[in-house]
């Protein structure tokens, strides 16, 4: 069956996290707080981050013996949806992905890193070297003496990260180097200026950094672990984008219900009303896809159903947000053209989200192979 | 009445085998895909025979009383039979207004005489039923129906016009919504519900030729048509309530319907299977990167519809805009179906220009006809544009 797996459930834990996360994000991250962070170095309020750690969010998907709650990636989906809704940044996304890669690639060998992450150490996944999300072979390399060379680009939250999880090539094989921030020479981190001012990323030059052998993860399982981590990255970004699209829709609807032109509320004009319903319908689709993916993805290696689910979630959700953000600007008219109007926050977030872990076409191209052969 | 899982599983195997063995061979002409597409006598007779055969085998009206042609068993059996009919894509059980609307209603609130007179003949397809709700001036606004029924002794005299009467020209009976009192403060309270014969003086049907070139609906004219007073269901003024009651049987056998399937389901997968062997740029069409992208989109649309049904059943996952999935369901489903069929023609290449009647047309022109017919769902029951207004106003709270 080409439609395949259509499981969709909500566990009690997911439901509780959803409620807690929505309430937390609504209370702690109103748009005034988001705006106050747009031009700061870190891009987030460290007090909020500490509260998130105290709530256990950095350990949701990590095993209990590492200080996590053992709920798996599925339980992160409602959390990121809530964070996306509130445009709440923080390093939770990249920290979670760094942890997933370590956990999936190293088994028990690196458990102390996971324990650190669960208790609040900021980690980041240093993946990209160029614009290509389809890159399988890395130029950043680890030589036989254990020295790194090369630069990773678009490394999320690099200035605040304590641990860098760096996929590299060593002797033509894929490996992962674990690098402490303290090992980086001055000037190694060059922050990017991002279109989404709620996010932070940087180029990180790892050239000359020595990595002890016990801090290298290698073996045949690394490629699978990286493949799965990319898919989980796509899913979590999709969850975040779905939340943002919902909030963007609310922003549009609020304006359409209050703004008058030619003596009528502009929401009564079908030229605005109908595309807004299209956004609702696409947002509904996005939610269905992310919770379907959350229902099938577990701690095990991701099977083809999971891969399809994650890719569909990403393909749907970030295109939905692109359209929602785009129309939000247009429907706000002159107001929409100003920095003051919140619509720009969603439009900018949409540009960032679509690029993370591959855009819709990147995923549809791979879905075509999975679904049509 | 409780039925064991084992019993149901045995039945499932039995009915599945029967559908497999008895699924009719291609009759040499294109069969209707839905009950709204029965256009000629040839199709009618084929479907009449098929429905009679399902009934005779014991797979229709299973939960209806034995004395009226049913088997009096738990509706779970009929649900399984319906599922197997769908799975084996057997022809439709065309007498759906009888099986799914009029029949269950008569079963619920009819008199013993009415049950005796009508029910079995609905199941055997000896009597075809049609529905007279919509009127030319009141397409979306049923409550405003103006066809008049005036009591005259032992009869009602009917005057007016109905439109989009499915199989009106073939039907022996109509469930008719007519106004017995034009002066009630609420327009709904003046309506009454009749089981009205079609083969009487003063009833004239005029087939409507659809954009497909085929038939399936009629306009129905009542000119001083006299029907016995006992054709009235319930009391005068209860018409709206009873009409709404007929809608609940759509939920299937568990809700009282006799069963059967009103349409042959078509999926993206059917379309993809049909495209095996189509050539584009001297290679398989399914290898074309741009078309592959469109197919993936179509698959995602269909999957999203299925997932939406699942999600709507989970309150925690459908609370942000309550009612959104339910109210937009018809809009999403009908528009997605229309787009998919449009794509199916495009993917055929030059053959997409062939139509029903050309012997070289793929599947006898099935997709071409299906695309043209798909507008019945984007227009009927409230156009997509009206549906979009409904969602905007009732779900998003946008002003009228």
CATH number (domain holding residue B189) = 2.40.110.10
Same domain? B345 vs B310: yes
Residue A178: predicted pLDDT: 98
**Tens-place pLDDT, residues A139-163:** 999 999 999 999 999 999 999 999 9
Backbone angles phi, psi at B155, to 5 degrees: -135, 160
CB contact under 8 A, A316 and B300: yes
- Rounded Cα gap, residues B229 and B203, in angstroms: 17
The verdict on residue B164 lying in a domain is yes
With 70 as the cut, is the pLDDT of residue B197 above it? Answer: yes
Residue B140: predicted pLDDT: 64
DSSP result, B270-314: HHHHHTTT-EETTEEGGG-HHHHHHHHHHHHHHHHHHHHHHHHT-
Residue A18: predicted pLDDT: 96
Chain A residues within an 8 Å CB radius of B328? 277, 280-281, 284
- Rounded Cα gap, residues B350 and B348, in angstroms: 6
Name which of B309, B246, B196 is nearest B96 in CA terms.
B246
Same domain? B336 vs B376: yes
Mutation target among A20, A292, A368 for the B interface, most CBs of B within 10 A: A368
Report the mean per-residue pLDDT for chain B: 93
CB contact under 8 A, B392 and A267: yes
The verdict on residue B248 lying in a domain is yes
CATH number of the structural domain spanning residue B359: 1.20.140.10
Chain B residues within an 8 Å CB radius of A15? 316
A183: which residues sit within 8 A by CB, 6+ positions away? A209, A210
The encoded tokens of residue B347 equal 């993917």
The encoded tokens of residue B185 equal 């403060």
The encoded tokens of residue A251 equal 């922003």
Chain B residues within an 8 Å CB radius of A291? 311, 317
Same domain? B189 vs B302: no
Residue B255: predicted pLDDT: 84
Distances (CA, A) of A306 to A4, A240, A310, A373: 11, 18, 6, 17
Name which of B163, B44, B55, B148 is nearest B99 in CA terms.
B55
Same domain? B239 vs B274: no
| B333-356 burial: b if 16+ Cβ within 10 Å, else e | bbbbbbbbbebbbebbeeebebeb
Q: Which helix (H) or strand (E) holds B227?
A: strand B217-228
- A5 min Cα distance to partner chain B (Å): 9
Percent over 90 (pLDDT), chain B: 80
Which of B220, B253, B286 marks a domain boundary?
Answer: B253
**Tens-place pLDDT, residues B50-107:** 999 999 999 999 999 999 999 999 999 999 999 999 999 999 999 999 999 999 999 9
Residue B303 pLDDT class (50, 70, 90 cuts) = very high
Taking 50 as the pLDDT cut, the residues of chain A under it are: none
Task: Domain count for chain B, please give it.
Answer: 3
Chain B residue with CA closest to A371: the answer is B296
- B295 min Cα distance to partner chain A (Å): 8
Residue B285 pLDDT class (50, 70, 90 cuts) = very high
The verdict on residue B262 lying in a domain is no
The verdict on residue B39 lying in a domain is yes
Chain A residues within an 8 Å CB radius of B324? 280, 284
B250: annotated active-site residue: yes
Mean pLDDT of the region B372-391: 92
The encoded tokens of residue A366 equal 């791979």
Chain A residues within an 8 Å CB radius of B384? none
Residue B375: predicted pLDDT: 95
Residue B264: predicted pLDDT: 84
Same domain? B159 vs B79: no
Mean pLDDT of the region B324-340: 94
Which of B214, B230, B253 marks a domain boundary?
Answer: B253
Residue B139: predicted pLDDT: 64
Spell out which chain B residues touch chain A, with contact meaning CB-CB distance below 8 angstroms.
267-269, 272, 286, 289, 292-293, 295-297, 299-300, 302-304, 306-308, 310-311, 314, 316-317, 320-321, 324-325, 328, 331-332, 385, 388-389, 391-392, 395-400
Same domain? B280 vs B340: yes
DSSP B321: S
The encoded tokens of residue A363 equal 């995923």
CB contact under 8 A, B293 and A3: no
Residue labelled with tokens 């990636």: A73
The encoded tokens of residue A78 equal 């409602």
CB contact under 8 A, A18 and B293: no
CB contact under 8 A, B269 and A257: no
∠ at Cα A96 (A369, A164), nearest 5°? 100
Mutation target among A15, A274, A279, A372 for the B interface, most CBs of B within 10 A: A372
Percent over 70 (pLDDT), chain B: 99
CB contact under 8 A, B398 and A1: no
Q: How far apart are the first and last CA of chain A?
A: 13
Catalytic residue among B250, B254, B269, B393: B250
Domain boundaries, chain A: 222-372
Same domain? B89 vs B195: no
Mutation target among A281, A291, A316 for the B interface, most CBs of B within 10 A: A281
Same domain? B325 vs B373: yes
The verdict on residue B258 lying in a domain is no
Which of B107, B125, B143 marks a domain boundary?
Answer: B125
Mutation target among A19, A277, A331 for the B interface, most CBs of B within 10 A: A277
Residue B346: predicted pLDDT: 92
Question: In terms of C-beta density within 10 A (0-12 exposed, 13-18 middle, 19 or more buried), how is residue A349 classed?
Answer: buried
- A253 min Cα distance to partner chain B (Å): 7
Same domain? B30 vs B145: no
Residue B253 pLDDT class (50, 70, 90 cuts) = confident
Three-class SS string for chain A?
Answer: CCCCCCCCCCCHHHHHHHHHHHHHHHHHCCHHHHHHCCCCCCCCCHHHHHHHHHCCHHHCCCCHHHCCCCCCHHHHHHHHHHHHHCCCCCCHHHHHHHHHHHHHHHCCCCHHHHHHHHCCCCEEECCCCCCCCCCCCCCCEECCCCEEECEEEEEECCCCCCEEEEEEEECCEEEEEEEEHHHCCCCCEEECCCCCCCCCEEEEECCCCECCHHHEEECCHHHHHHHHHHHHHHHHHHHHHHHHHHHHHHHHHHHHHHCEECCEEHHHCHHHHHHHHHHHHHHHHHHHHHHHHHHHCCCCCCCHHHHHHHHHHHHHHHHHHHHHHHHHHHHCHHHHCCCCCCHHHHHHHHHHHHHCCCCHHHHHHHHHHHHHC
Residue B63: predicted pLDDT: 95
CB contact under 8 A, A10 and B398: no
Domain A222-372 belongs to what topology? Answer: Butyryl-CoA Dehydrogenase, subunit A; domain 3 (1.20.140)
Task: Classify the C-alpha dihedral B1-B4-B5-B6 as positive or negative.
Answer: negative
CATH number of the structural domain spanning residue B62: 1.10.540.10
Same domain? B21 vs B35: yes
Domain of residue B302: give its range: 268-394
Same domain? B241 vs B332: no
Chain centroid to CA B22: how far? 23
Chain A residues within an 8 Å CB radius of B306? 3, 6
Same domain? B214 vs B331: no
Cβ–Cβ under 8 Å, residues A39 and A197: yes
């Amino acid at each position: 069956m080409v439609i395949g797996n259509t499981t969709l459930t909500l566990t009690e834990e997911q439901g509780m996290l959803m409620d807690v996360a929505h309430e937390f994000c609504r209370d702690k991250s109103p748009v005034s707080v988001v705006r106050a962070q747009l031009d700061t170095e870190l891009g987030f309020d460290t007090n909020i981050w500490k509260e998130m750690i105290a709530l256990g969010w950095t350990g949701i998907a990590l095993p209990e013996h590492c200080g996590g709650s053992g709920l798996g990636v599925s339980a992160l989906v409602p959390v990121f949806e809530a964070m996306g809704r509130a445009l709440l940044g923080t390093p939770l996304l990249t920290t979670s992905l760094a942890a997933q890669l370590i956990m999936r690639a190293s088994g028990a060998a690196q458990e102390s890193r996971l324990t650190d992450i669960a208790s609040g150490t900021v980690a980041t996944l240093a993946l990209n070297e160029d614009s290509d999300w389809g890159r399988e072979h890395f130029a950043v390399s680890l030589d036989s003496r254990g020295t790194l060379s090369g630069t990773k680009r678009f490394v999320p939250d690099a200035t605040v990260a304590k641990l860098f999880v760096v996929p590299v090539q060593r002797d033509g094989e894929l490996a992962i180097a674990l690098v402490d921030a303290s090992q980086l020479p001055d000037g190694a981190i060059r922050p990017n200026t991002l279109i989404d001012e709620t996010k932070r990323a940087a180029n990180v030059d790892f050239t000359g950094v020595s990595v002890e052998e016990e801090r290298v993860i290698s073996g045949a399982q690394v490629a699978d672990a990286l493949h799965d981590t990319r898919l989980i990255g796509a899913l979590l970004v999709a969850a975040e984008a779905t939340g943002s699209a919902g909030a963007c829709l609310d922003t549009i609807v609020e304006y359409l219900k209050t703004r008058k032109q030619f003596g009528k509320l502009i929401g009564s004009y079908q030229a605005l009303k109908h595309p807004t319903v299209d956004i609702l319908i696409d947002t509904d689709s996005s939610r269905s896809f992310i919770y379907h993916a959350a229902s099938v993805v577990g701690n095990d290696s991701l099977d083809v159903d999971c891969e399809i689910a994650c890719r569909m979630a990403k393909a749907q959700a970030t295109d939905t947000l692109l359209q929602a953000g785009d129309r939000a600007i247009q429907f706000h008219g002159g107001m929409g053209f100003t920095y003051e109007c919140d619509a720009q926050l969603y439009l900018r977030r949409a540009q960032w989200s679509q690029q993370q872990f591959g855009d819709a076409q990147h995923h549809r191209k791979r879905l075509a192979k999975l679904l049509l052969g | 009445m409780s039925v064991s899982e084992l019993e149901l599983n045995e039945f499932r195997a039995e009915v599945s085998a029967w559908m497999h063995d008895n699924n009719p061979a291609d009759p040499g002409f294109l069969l209707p895909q839905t009950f709204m597409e029965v256009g000629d006598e040839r199709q009618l007779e084929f479907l009449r025979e098929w429905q009679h055969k399902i009934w005779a085998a014991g797979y229709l009206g299973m939960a209806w009383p034995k004395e009226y042609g049913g088997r009096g068993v738990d509706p779970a059996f009929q649900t399984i039979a319906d599922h197997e009919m769908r799975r084996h894509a057997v022809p439709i059980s065309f007498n759906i207004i009888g099986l799914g609307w009029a029949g269950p209603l008569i079963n619920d609130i009819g008199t013993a005489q009415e049950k005796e007179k009508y029910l079995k003949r609905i199941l055997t397809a000896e009597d075809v039923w049609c529905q007279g709700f919509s009127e030319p001036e009141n397409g979306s606004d049923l409550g405003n129906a103006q066809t008049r029924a005036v009591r005259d002794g032992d009869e009602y005299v009917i005057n007016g016009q109905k439109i989009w009467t499915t199989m009106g020209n073939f039907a022996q009976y109509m469930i008719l919504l007519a106004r017995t009192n034009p002066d009630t403060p609420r327009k709904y309270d003046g309506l009454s519900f009749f089981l009205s014969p079609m083969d009487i003086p003063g009833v004239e049907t005029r087939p409507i030729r659809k954009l497909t070139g085929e038939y399936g609906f009629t306009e129905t004219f009542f000119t001083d048509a006299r029907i016995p007073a006992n054709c009235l269901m319930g009391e005068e003024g209860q018409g709206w309530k009873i009409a709404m009651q007929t809608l609940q049987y759509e939920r299937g056998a568990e809700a009282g319907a006799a069963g059967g399937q009103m349409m042959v389901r078509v999926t993206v997968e059917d379309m993809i299977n049909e495209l095996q062997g189509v050539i584009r740029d001297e290679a398989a069409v399914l290898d074309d990167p741009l078309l592959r992208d469109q197919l993936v989109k179509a698959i995602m649309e269909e999957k999203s519809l299925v997932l939406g049904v699942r999600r709507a059943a989970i309150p925690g996952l459908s609370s942000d805009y309550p009612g959104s999935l339910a109210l937009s369901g018809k809009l999403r489903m009908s528009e997605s179906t229309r787009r998919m069929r449009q794509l199916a023609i495009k993917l055929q290449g030059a053959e997409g220009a062939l139509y029903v009647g050309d012997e070289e047309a793929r599947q006898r022109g099935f997709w071409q006809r299906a695309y043209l017919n798909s507008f019945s769902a984007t227009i009927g029951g409230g156009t997509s544009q009206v549906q979009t207004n409904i969602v905007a106003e009732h779900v998003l709270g946008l002003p009228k």
